Structure 1
């Protein structure tokens, strides 16, 4: 996207990440999320190691970590490839997100205070003002959701939920246009207002509908 190649991603990663392992994982993740590496593309460990200037071991470990995040798939006789998201997988991710995010919000709700609500609103203002929204939507969208869930104090749960957000992000970057972000952002404000009113049932329903609507929008572009 925007003429960026893997060499550019590697250069950016070498500046952003402190350790070899985090550089390779972060660089490959960035390349997949930005569309530099596309679904179905083979990931040859020796070539990646040469690009990053590292041995094959951190590359192998990075690919396994990205497999756990749903970004990479391993096949017999083919090795690692960038995973592709099918319609069936989108539907499954929607189901997982609805189940786990409503659980997280339910647990967080009694402890959701003015500080978290203010931080969540700050994120929404940042989304409104962001000039490069397509590339930053995933990060800011997750920050909003994670802020509402943070009082639940369930780090493992949030780690699983974040992985589902990440699985959507690269397809959202490629397929959605700016107008597609208007409805989810409106739903964000509605969810925030409902949380402020301490309406748990209303907030859970809005969150569920919000996730399903996002999935439907993505599905319409994948068909």
Structure 2
């Protein structure tokens, strides 16, 4: 039950700000209310939902300030992962990353957007795993799992930004890693991740320039 609700929240099938009541959830999923309540307690511990008196549980929706902090933390951790990966990546690992990037380029050309977000997540976390296999990859996952990005807020859906801000950035990161240039890999990764915060806030307040 916990995993079902966790997946729904992380994939924004239950978007931020949505009420999450035990009885309707139990009815929808065809289970008793007890495992749903236990799942909600675990989600609250994960800080994915919050409780308010007389309102019950609500899926967390970050403020602009918290959103910037979330992406800043991601940028630091994933940027460090890129820097470290540049110094320890193997030829086989590098080929795997370029293969993922190539699949994304092909999907974009074919107009297939539905799996781009997940492929991007895989690419970022793979770089973090290579850079910091003992701790860093796990921390990168924990940060990402702490807040789901709504699918309708993804840069992958925006034709004006997908090539310049994502595809080209991924290629530059991989190119720097391949060359062993940790400084550039880290800098481009940080800029790339922070752009997502600017985009998300721009979607709330107006178009991103």
TM-score normalised by L of structure 1? 0.76
Matched, 1:206 2:193: no
> Does the CA contact (< 8 Å) of 2:12 and 2:148 recur in 1?
no
Alignment-derived partner of residue 93 in structure 1: 70
- 1:193 is aligned to 175
2:52 alignment partner in structure 1: 75
Unaligned ranges ≥5, structure 2:
none
1:208 is paired with a residue whose SS is helix
Q: TM-score normalized by structure 2?
A: 0.80
**Residue in structure 1 matched with residue 80 of structure 2 by the alignment:** 103
Determine if contact 1:187/1:206 at 8 Å carries over to the other structure.
yes
CA RMSD of aligned residues (A): 2.4
Equivalent residue for 1:217?
199
1:45 CA displacement = 0.9
2:125 corresponds to: 146
Q: Match for residue 152 of structure 2?
A: 174
Q: Tell me which residue corresponds to 2:19.
A: 42
The more displaced of 54-63 and 88-97 is 54-63
Bigger relative CO (Cα 8 Å, ≥ 6 apart): 2
Distance 1:181 1:67 in 2: 34
What is the CA deviation profile of residues 155-179 of structure 1, one whole-angstrom value per residue up to 9, with x for unaligned ones? 5x434422443566533x2134331
Larger helix proportion, structure 1 or 2? 1
Secondary structure at the aligned position of 2:26 is classed as helix
> Bigger shift: 200-209 or 76-85?
76-85
Q: Which moved more, 1:177-186 or 1:213-222?
A: 177-186
8 A contact 2:97–2:123 mirrored in 1: yes
Instruction: Give the 3 Å change call, closer, same or farther, for CA 206–125 of structure 1 in structure 2.
Output: same
Structure 1 unmatched runs, 5+? 1-23
Report the CA distance between 1:128 and its aligned residue: 1.8
CA drift of 1:68 comes to 5.2
Cα distance between partner residues in 2 of 1:72 and 1:97 = 20
Which of 181-190 and 31-40 deviates more?
31-40
